[in-house]
Amino acid sequence: MGELERKFDVKIESTEDKVKFPDALKENLKELGLMDEKGKLKLKGVSPKMLKRMKQEFVKCPVLKKDVQFVQCFVCPNFQSRVMGEVLCKGDPLK
């Protein structure tokens, strides 16, 4: 099995601050079926402990050219994998 084709390796950074999801992200997650009506995330294969950690992480997105929460990065079509503190990103333009 070869390496995944990607344009960017993006470092994952963390913050101790309480993070609030933007309304647009919440709507997107609900449409994808990854968040219930009460606002609770439901990501398959992600433990509650890992989910809590993911909520306090962010990446400097090379496609959007801004800091985005890791959960937003995780559901992005460009997301390929999380490996040793980095995200493998396809780098394709988003709609």
pTM: 0.81
> Residue ranges per domain, the chain?
8-89
List the structure tokens of 35. Answer: 């968040």
Is pLDDT at 4 greater than 80 in this prediction?
no
Is pLDDT at 1 greater than 60 in this prediction?
no
If 0-12 CB within 10 Å is exposed, 13-18 middle and 19+ buried, where does residue 78 land?
Answer: buried
Count of residues making up the chain:
95
Q: What is the pLDDT of residue 21?
A: 82
Is pLDDT at 7 greater than 60 in this prediction?
yes
Q: What is the pLDDT of residue 53?
A: 87
CA distance 7 to 51: 26
Write out pLDDT tens, residues 38-88.
Answer: 888 888 888 889 888 888 999 999 999 999 989 889 889 999 999 999 999
